[in-house]
A and B are shown apart, each in its own frame.
Chain A
Amino acid sequence: MSNDILVITEHMDGKFSDVSFEMVGKAKELANALGGQAVAVVVGGGVSSNVFASDSTIHIDDAALSNFNPEAYGKVIEALVKEKSPKVVMFGWTVTGMDVAAWLSARMGAPCVAYAKDVRTEGGALMVSSQAYGGKLMAEVAPEGDMAIVACLAGSFPVEAGQGSTAATTIASPVDLGSLKVKFTEAIKPAGGDVDITAQAKLVSIGRGIGGKENVELAEELAKALGATVSASRPVVDAGWLPRTRQVGKSGLKVKPKLYFMLGISGAPEHLEGMKSAELIIAINTDKKAPIFNVAHYGATADLFEVAEAMLELL
């Protein structure tokens, strides 16, 4: 057992995601408080790993790890965690981290806290803030036992604190990856052919509150009157009301327009990841407790249809 903090970093196309640096910065803080080391873990090749401010960096390279493969990554991380027996293993609560974090927790019988917004020590014990219930509640929880898995929401800690130049030690896979049941077969590229919402100065963004495909037209009209483009939350796209190219958020696109005008979007953490740095955020929502009001600059508790129609008359 050690007091080390293992950070499972993430990279794609030769670049680490911000959440990797965010976690390394946080891990340093925790390691200081616990008297351990902050160890960055890089799985898979094709990336230069001497970029963290960690106490040490372990880079595991193997041909089977060159693309994200939840089975292979899970096996490698499990073996490493067993060998190092750290105090905390940090994952991103991301599209890749979430494939492994809870799996590892169940495999090892170690506690897992997901949707983590903060991790700290209180009187020597670990305390995690978890932003559950779509951002409506914050739970303060204490993991029991010798080791905890913490899966962190992207954007929770500063990026800079994790950036550095610690030289990585490259090792071979600690487990045999010869007989995997899951095989990566090909990369899927974005469809393209639509407007690029990341390049728009103004977005009118609609959520499930829009109610149906037939109402998307109202948003289109409002967008036109404002010289804006229509974007959306994930459920709108999953329902087939708008194409995937319009989706903002964790599994969509990250946007930073001058105006982000939101109609009927609750403000789930996954949506916020894609738009929270927009310059001016205005949200219309019938639920006065919608989490989006904690993030928007201006808000109104109102019916989106009434407001949109009234705005159209004035524009």
Chain B
Amino acid sequence: MNIVVAIKHIPSIADDLPVKGVNVDFDSVDFVLNEFDEQSIEQAVLVKEAVGGTVTVVGVDLIGELDAVLHLALAKGADKAVKITGDDPAADSHQQAKWLSEAIKGMSADIVFAGVQASNDLDGQIGAMIAAYLDMPYIGGVSSVEVSGNTATVNKEFAGGVGAKYEAALPMVVGVQAASKPPRYAPISKVRQIAQSATIEKVAPTGEASAGITFKKMAPPVAAGHAEMIEGSSKEVAAKIVELLKSKGLA
């Protein structure tokens, strides 16, 4: 079966996010793989291991650094890697979803995986949009997928352990919240070896879509309040916290 994983390369939120004008200053941030894409790659590989097939990982190369991410995906069990040369760090979800959809059209996908969301999905998630552009059903918030013949059985999570099981006729798009097993680890030596031998297919971006929103301003949130910061060395911080908790009868 043809299993496709659509990924998103996004500004890392682990670091500072400097703003330039009305958007992120893309030149001064690191780009990383969307955290939910790690889960979706794992779920795709698990499905392949269960029923056979090929996993193709496809993403938009926004800043010319997608290869490293694709190599990692290959090291984790994907079979093919495709990058769409978008070359626009500000490409929104609609535009990326459109480019991805056009690329996926030629892949005869039986099932498409995407991360349930990304932190820069200001205009919504690519998974749901790819489903719309390709006229496939979409289920997001998924935490396990099993495929049998032409049918996928997926578990969707609501909250607090409550969820629902669905059966869907393939092809479909799945927005993965968590893979049914924690993502596997790929040793760095394997990633390096793949980086030397793997070929990444390059595809030119085709199709146009836009979020249809104009950015007026971007800035760190103006907080209604801010924590009272406890200063000092870790030991001093610990002592002050213990004192605080004792004063409130909580320790």
Binding site for B on A (CB under 8 A): 12, 67-71, 74, 95-96, 98-107, 109-115, 127-128, 130-145, 149, 151, 181-192, 202, 226-227, 234-235, 238-240, 244-245, 250-254, 258-259, 266, 268, 280-284, 287, 289, 291-303, 306-311, 313-315
Chain A residues whose CB sits within 8 angstroms of the CB of B149 once the complex forms: none
Q: Is the CB of A136 within 8 A of B169?
A: no
Q: Which of A99, A136, A244, A309 contacts B161 (CB 8 A)?
A: A244
Q: Is the CB of B229 within 8 A of A301?
A: yes
Q: Is the CB of B221 within 8 A of A291?
A: yes
Q: Is the CB of A112 within 8 A of B123?
A: yes
Q: How many B residues have CB within 8 A of the partner chain?
A: 88
> With A and B bound together, what is the CA distance between A275 and B166 in angstroms?
30
Which of the segments B58-66, B76-84, B131-139, B191-199 contacts the partner chain? Answer: B131-139
Q: Which 10 A-B pairs have the closest CB atoms?
A: A102-B124, A190-B161, A111-B212, A310-B238, A306-B234, A299-B227, A294-B223, A106-B132, A188-B163, A106-B129
Chain B residues whose CB sits within 8 angstroms of the CB of A244 once the complex forms: 161
Which of the segments B1-9, B48-56, B105-113, B172-180 contacts the partner chain? Answer: B172-180
Chain B residues whose CB sits within 8 angstroms of the CB of A287 once the complex forms: 14
Contacting A at CB under 8 A, from B124-156, are 124-125, 128-129, 131-133, 137-141, 153, 155-156
Closest to A12 in B: B158
> With A and B bound together, what is the CA distance between A250 and B117 in angstroms?
13
Closest Cβ of chain A to B138, distance in Å, is 6
Q: Is the CB of A106 within 8 A of B94?
A: yes
Decide if B119 is an interface residue (CB 8 Å cutoff).
Answer: yes
Closest Cβ of chain A to B121, distance in Å, is 5
Closest to B217 in A: A140
Q: Is the CB of A311 within 8 A of B241?
A: yes
Q: Is the CB of B234 within 8 A of A142?
A: no
Contacting A at CB under 8 A, from B218-251, are 218-231, 234-235, 237-239, 241-242, 244-245, 248, 250-251
Chain A residues whose CB sits within 8 angstroms of the CB of B153 once the complex forms: 185
Q: Is the CB of A296 within 8 A of B227?
A: yes
Closest to A95 in B: B141
Chain A residues whose CB sits within 8 angstroms of the CB of B35 once the complex forms: 235
Chain A residues whose CB sits within 8 angstroms of the CB of B116 once the complex forms: 98
Q: Which of B120, B169, B217, B238 contacts A132 (CB 8 A)?
A: B120
Closest to B211 in A: A111
Decide if B97 is an interface residue (CB 8 Å cutoff).
Answer: yes
Known: A254-B159, A299-B228, A300-B231. 9 other contacts (CB 8 A): A99-B138, A102-B123, A114-B123, A132-B122, A134-B13, A137-B219, A182-B167, A226-B251, A292-B227
Chain B residues whose CB sits within 8 angstroms of the CB of A98 once the complex forms: 116-117, 124-125, 128, 140-141
Chain A residues whose CB sits within 8 angstroms of the CB of B120 once the complex forms: 132-133
Closest to B242 in A: A314
Closest Cβ of chain A to B218, distance in Å, is 5
> With A and B bound together, what is the CA distance between A254 and B218 in angstroms?
30
Sample (16) of A-B pairs whose CB atoms are under 8 Å apart? A98-B117, A101-B124, A137-B218, A138-B218, A141-B216, A142-B214, A142-B216, A185-B165, A187-B163, A188-B155, A226-B251, A238-B39, A293-B227, A295-B227, A300-B241, A314-B242
Q: Is the CB of B220 within 8 A of A137?
A: yes
Decide if B162 is an interface residue (CB 8 Å cutoff).
Answer: yes
> With A and B bound together, what is the CA distance between A244 and B144 in angstroms?
14
CB-defined interface of B168-208 with A at 8 Å, one 1/0 digit per residue?
11001001011001100000000000000000000000000
Contacting A at CB under 8 A, from B68-108, are 93-94, 97
Closest Cβ of chain B to A7, distance in Å, is 18
Interface centre among B14, B172, B231 (most CB of A within 10 A): B14
Q: Is the CB of A184 within 8 A of B164?
A: yes
Q: Is the CB of B235 within 8 A of A187?
A: no
Decide if B24 is an interface residue (CB 8 Å cutoff).
Answer: yes
Q: Is the CB of B229 within 8 A of A293?
A: yes
Instruction: Please judge, given known A-B contacts A137-B24, A144-B212, A191-B161, whether A71 and B137 are in contact too, CB under 8 Å.
Output: yes
Decide if B19 is an interface residue (CB 8 Å cutoff).
Answer: yes
Chain A residues whose CB sits within 8 angstroms of the CB of B129 once the complex forms: 102-103, 105-106
Q: Is the CB of B213 within 8 A of A280?
A: no
Q: Is the CB of A185 within 8 A of B213?
A: no
Closest Cβ of chain B to A136, distance in Å, is 5
Q: Is the CB of B159 within 8 A of A251?
A: yes
